[in-house]
Amino acid sequence: MDKVVRKMADYKMFEYKFVGLTADSSLQWARYETLLAKSSESELLHLCDNESPVVRSYAFQGLVEKKSPKIFDILTRHINDTGEFERIMGCMVDPCYVTDFYLEQVGYFPYDSSSSYKINNHQRDFIDSLMLYGNEILIRKSNYNQIKFKSRDYMLESLTHKDTYYNRLREIVLTGVIEALPALAKFKNSNDISIIKNVYETEGLIGEDFVFDAITNFPHPDLFEIVEKEVTNDLRHDNYFDGSSYKYYEALIQYKTLRSRELLAQTISKKAGENQVRRANNVKYLVSKNPDKAFAGLTD
């Protein structure tokens, strides 16, 4: 088996069963199947500490396939494993990290349905806490202002709201982890208004989605000027209506005022083109999902 492991490590890529435009059988996957067939659970556990991130990943996948009772122990032990490798499925090649791969294998990400092992809610909360307080959440991509590890990004999107998380969330936002801003805003602390404004003023389009998600969670009157500015600009220039534009109106609908009603009415009434119709229909949907007497009659 040592020879198979060495070849797997030397190849340096994680391949699924079929690769390339013609869906050829992968020799690397064949090595994995040999490893799975001939290795005991204890051997796979040992290989999770191999110096090769590819071997560590195949070994953990093997433990999942074998439904080992040690899966969660290994997962938590490697939650900070930032080993990097390239992953190939078909003709698609993308970078991957051991910590993200392990979490995929246990169904942490909602789009992964192939795993035979799923962590439960209690285990998920524990994993979330480990990632929130770990240093890996502070690591950014070298060429883009974004969290490097998708597991940390997803964790912040779905993090259970707990009072004990406030200080840590504020700390990492202040160090530049703008993805944590919506979670921080859920605490509705007026001391954080200046932080939200600062991200809006300094991060541009990269930070915009997080700012508007934060305002949706914390629609403080002092933040309305940001919403009003972007909605007014969107209406004036008839920008293409996309996910970011939708977030403007998600935030606007939180303000039950005469001015917010006026802006919503203007939006719904503009239907001169496909873009305006799409915007009007989405705003009507938001109003219907957020009924309030301040918006009575808008969708009639």
Tell me the pLDDT tens digit for each residue of 150-159: 999 999 999 9
Sorted by where each begins, the domain ranges of the chain are 1-117, 120-218, 223-300
In the structure encoding, which two tokens stand for residue 231, read together?
């909605």
Looking at residue 294, its pLDDT comes to: 86
What's at 208, amino acid-wise? Answer: E
Per-residue pLDDT band for 221 (boundaries 50, 70, 90) equals very high
Per-residue pLDDT band for 197 (boundaries 50, 70, 90) equals very high
In the structure encoding, which two tokens stand for residue 162, read together?
């707990």
Per-residue pLDDT band for 91 (boundaries 50, 70, 90) equals confident
Ramachandran category for residue 141: left, alpha or beta (phi over 0 → left; psi -120 to 50 → alpha): beta
Helix (H) or strand (E) holding 19: strand 13-19
Per-residue pLDDT band for 145 (boundaries 50, 70, 90) equals confident
Looking at residue 23, its pLDDT comes to: 61
Per-residue pLDDT band for 114 (boundaries 50, 70, 90) equals low
Cβ-count burial 209-222 (b if 16+ within 10 Å, e if not): bbbbbbbbbbbbee
Q: Tell me if the pTM is above 0.85.
A: yes
In the structure encoding, which two tokens stand for residue 5, read together?
């492991």
**Cα angle value 187/119/58 (rounded, 5°):** 120
Residues forming a β-bridge with 66: none
Looking at residue 262, its pLDDT comes to: 93
> Is a pLDDT exceeding 60 seen at residue 298?
yes
- Residue 78 neighbours by CB distance under 10 Å: 20
Residues forming a β-bridge with 89: 92
Looking at residue 110, its pLDDT comes to: 67
Looking at residue 60, its pLDDT comes to: 96
Looking at residue 63, its pLDDT comes to: 95
> Is a pLDDT exceeding 80 seen at residue 30?
yes
Looking at residue 24, its pLDDT comes to: 67
130 burial level (CB within 10 Å; 0-12, 13-18, 19+): middle
Looking at residue 22, its pLDDT comes to: 53
How is residue 167 annotated by DSSP?
H
> Is a pLDDT exceeding 80 seen at residue 180?
yes
Mean pLDDT calculated for residue range 213-217: 97
pLDDT digits (tens, 9 = 90+) for 225-278: 999 999 999 888 776 667 678 899 999 999 999 999 999 999 888 877 778 888
Per-residue pLDDT band for 194 (boundaries 50, 70, 90) equals very high
> Is a pLDDT exceeding 60 seen at residue 111?
no
In the structure encoding, which two tokens stand for residue 100, read together?
């993200």
Looking at residue 241, its pLDDT comes to: 66
> Is a pLDDT exceeding 90 seen at residue 37?
yes
Per-residue pLDDT band for 113 (boundaries 50, 70, 90) equals low
Nearest to residue 260, comparing CAs of 283, 237, 240, 279? 283
- The residue ranking higher by pLDDT, 10 or 243, is 10
What mean pLDDT, rounded, does the chain reach? 91
Confirm if 169 and 186 have CB atoms less than 8 A apart. Answer: no
